[in-house]
A and B are shown apart, each in its own frame.
Chain A
Amino acid sequence: MFKKLYFSLSLLLLVCLSPLAVAEEVSARQVVDEFQNQLLSVMKAGKELGFQGRYDKLDVAVKKSHDLPKIARIVVGKQWEELTTEQQNKLESVFSKLSVSAYAHNFKDYSGESFTFASEEETGRGGVVIHTNLHIPGEKDVKFDYMMKKKDDSWQIINIIADGVSDLALKRSDYTSVLSRDGFDALIVKITEKIESYAKQ
């Protein structure tokens, strides 16, 4: 009798806590895995979806797995602090849009690509790097290394290093150069232009 009660109580407790428990258990590797699978499924349906269809699907997937606000912050370097709150919000929103658009543009069709997990590496200060390989039939494998950071109990992608080329470092040089040469408004104009040109093709 008591046994049954305990059992049902613990079951109830488990059900209540399960979202929390699951959130805690999702590893960095699983985050990358899930994102890559979503990316591949979008690629497979790429032509039928069209740009907007890919964008809508990837918008959810990218925002879930990438810490876009933090990335947006890092790419403008120390000039982030010199921006007004309004400007910071503006940058965050256009940057998110650009990131998703770039994915939707660059991963538009499928020709047998696949990702495989290679290894996991802990870095200093609690970061994790997930090493994966992208196989493209008939071409040399491309190394995709995902730099992960923990944010509110979940792992998020902060940088992608493709064959040794760091996306974040590249973007930071690019963005800080435009910011210091042409200013904030020009940066936003340029990003908006890129979003439009991605959507066109």
Chain B
Amino acid sequence: MYNPSYQGNSQASLLWAVLFSSALSVTGCATTDQHPADATRASKGKADAADPYEGFNRSMYGFNMGLDKHLLKPIANGYKTVTPNFMQTGVSNFFTNLKGINVVLNDFLQGKFEQGASDTGRFLTNSTVGLLGLFDVASDLGLQGNVEDFGQTLAVWGVDQGPYLVLPVLGPTTVRDGAAIVVDKAANPGTYVPGTGIVEGINDRANAEGALNFIDEAALDPYVFTRESFLQYRKNLINDGKSNSTDYDLDIDADVDVGEISSAKPKESNATQKPKADAAKKQPGHVQNAIEVTPGSAKPNSATFDSMSKSFDNAALEFEKASDKMDLFSKKKRQRKHR
């Protein structure tokens, strides 16, 4: 109702397999041309440490929105029209339950043993009594589900979130969370059954309808709105909802009382505040190590980066053209009918 909630960013896993290789190359160049990007941004007076690749991300966002408007949204709407509500809930429960193994794994990796035990009970209950996860019996028994993934675990371990990224089809993520998808997918049984990814993707899109509509209604700049809510939402998940209002308070206080607003956004100041104190000392460079970037490939990478960005822009344009044609076509059809 008030805050958009993101249903993870797992979509069609078949597509994912193809696309993740490109995601890696994106992060590769992302790490190499960081400094020039920062410099130009600073000169514009629009420094945003969390999003150094705004240009690239914006064209990806445009591409994703085009894809959504002309393909994913119609499919999701169709799915919602033909499927009864109880079945939609069942499908949703089923895929959430499949993620259960990964939730338990990450509970333990983060040292949350009590929560891990509860989530284990949840997974076992729903997989058996809940008929392979179709029914969420555990919630009724008081075992509330938790959202955990490897990206959150990395954050708890002290890995910096790295630059914000918008991946084609997969949507908003960060370098850290994007790399962590490998583990999340590996720990999800659905990954090993061909075809399920597509159903899961449709289900995810259908569930995201409310959040996407909210953004559409409320945002002046939907790209920025999505980015900010995504980063804040992730941060809240990492902190397990433990109050961080004081962080915002300090920042806002500074605005109000001093009457001068620092260009630093709330999340920037928070970006250095990691769950573990020693994390702040670490350099963001270790994120790059995690995904093994070869430093020698700087130039070709940024060239492919640019051309990729352009080709996605073109694809977004093509969507528009195609939809215009469709509109024209359906109009003609209607006119013919009238005659």
Chain A residues near B (Cβ < 8 Å):
70, 74, 77-78, 80-81, 102, 105-107, 121, 123-125, 127, 129, 131, 134, 136, 140, 142-145, 147, 149, 158-159, 161-166, 168-170, 172-175, 177-178, 180-181, 187, 190-191, 194, 197-198
Chain B residues near A (Cβ < 8 Å):
1-5, 45-46, 144, 217-221, 224-225, 227-229, 232-233, 235-237, 239, 241, 243-246, 248-253, 255-257, 260-263, 265-267
Of A78, A125, A174, which is within 8 A of B253 by CB?
Answer: A125
Residues of A within 8 A of B255 (CB): 74, 77
Known A-B contacts A145-B245, A174-B225, A177-B221; the reply to A168 vs B261 at CB < 8 A is no
CB distance from B323 to the nearest CB of A (A): 21
Beta-carbon contact of B252 and A159 below 8 Å: yes
Known A-B contacts A70-B256, A78-B261; the reply to A124 vs B229 at CB < 8 A is no
| Most chain A CB atoms below 10 A, which of B5, B221, B235 | B221
Residues of A within 8 A of B246 (CB): 121, 123-124, 129
Beta-carbon contact of A162 and B249 below 8 Å: no
Residues of B within 8 A of A178 (CB): 220-221
Beta-carbon contact of A124 and B253 below 8 Å: yes
Beta-carbon contact of A106 and B233 below 8 Å: no
| Most chain B CB atoms below 10 A, which of A74, A144, A174, A187 | A174
Residues of A within 8 A of B218 (CB): 102, 194
Beta-carbon contact of A124 and B249 below 8 Å: yes
Beta-carbon contact of B232 and A145 below 8 Å: no
Q: Give Cα distance in the complex from A138 to B166, angstroms.
A: 32
Residues of B within 8 A of A145 (CB): 243, 245
For chain A, what secondary structure do more than half of its interface residues adopt (helix, strand, loop), or is it mixed? helix
Chain B residue nearest in CB terms to A181: B221
Of A129, A143, A169, A197, which is within 8 A of B217 by CB?
Answer: A197
Q: Give Cα distance in the complex from A177 to B252, angstroms.
A: 18
Beta-carbon contact of A165 and B220 below 8 Å: no
Residues of A within 8 A of B4 (CB): 165
CB distance from B143 to the nearest CB of A (A): 13
Of A74, A124, A163, which is within 8 A of B3 by CB?
Answer: A163
Residues of A within 8 A of B262 (CB): 78
Query: Nearest 10 A-B pairs (CB), nearest first?
Result: A164-B236, A78-B261, A162-B3, A123-B249, A177-B224, A173-B228, A169-B266, A125-B253, A177-B221, A77-B261
Residues of A within 8 A of B252 (CB): 74, 147, 158-159, 168
Q: Give Cα distance in the complex from A94 to B224, angstroms.
A: 21
Known A-B contacts A74-B255, A74-B256, A105-B217; the reply to A169 vs B1 at CB < 8 A is no
Chain A residue nearest in CB terms to B253: A125
Beta-carbon contact of A147 and B1 below 8 Å: no
Residues of A within 8 A of B251 (CB): 169
Residues of A within 8 A of B261 (CB): 74, 77-78, 80
Chain B residue nearest in CB terms to A193: B220
CB distance from A168 to the nearest CB of B (A): 6
Residues of B within 8 A of A169 (CB): 228, 232, 248, 251, 265-267
Q: Give Cα distance in the complex from A170 to B220, angstroms.
A: 11
Q: Give Cα distance in the complex from A181 to B255, angstroms.
A: 22
Q: Give Cα distance in the complex from A162 to B232, angstroms.
A: 10
Beta-carbon contact of A194 and B221 below 8 Å: no
Beta-carbon contact of B250 and A168 below 8 Å: no
Residues of A within 8 A of B241 (CB): 143, 163-164
Residues of B within 8 A of A194 (CB): 217-218, 220
Beta-carbon contact of B245 and A174 below 8 Å: no
Q: Give Cα distance in the complex from A159 to B260, angstroms.
A: 18
Residues of B within 8 A of A147 (CB): 245, 248-249, 252
Of A158, A165, A168, A198, which is within 8 A of B233 by CB?
Answer: A165
Q: Give Cα distance in the complex from A41 to B250, angstroms.
A: 33
Q: Give Cα distance in the complex from A134 to B219, angstroms.
A: 23
Beta-carbon contact of B2 and A162 below 8 Å: yes
Q: Give Cα distance in the complex from A145 to B246, angstroms.
A: 11
Q: Give Cα distance in the complex from A144 to B1, angstroms.
A: 12
Residues of A within 8 A of B228 (CB): 169-170, 173-174
Beta-carbon contact of B221 and A129 below 8 Å: no
Beta-carbon contact of B2 and A175 below 8 Å: no
Residues of B within 8 A of A161 (CB): 245, 248
CB distance from B329 to the nearest CB of A (A): 28
Beyond the given A145-B245, A170-B229, could you list 10 further A-B residue pairs with CB under 8 A, ordered by the A residue number?
A77-B263, A124-B249, A163-B5, A164-B235, A164-B241, A165-B4, A165-B229, A166-B245, A174-B228, A178-B220
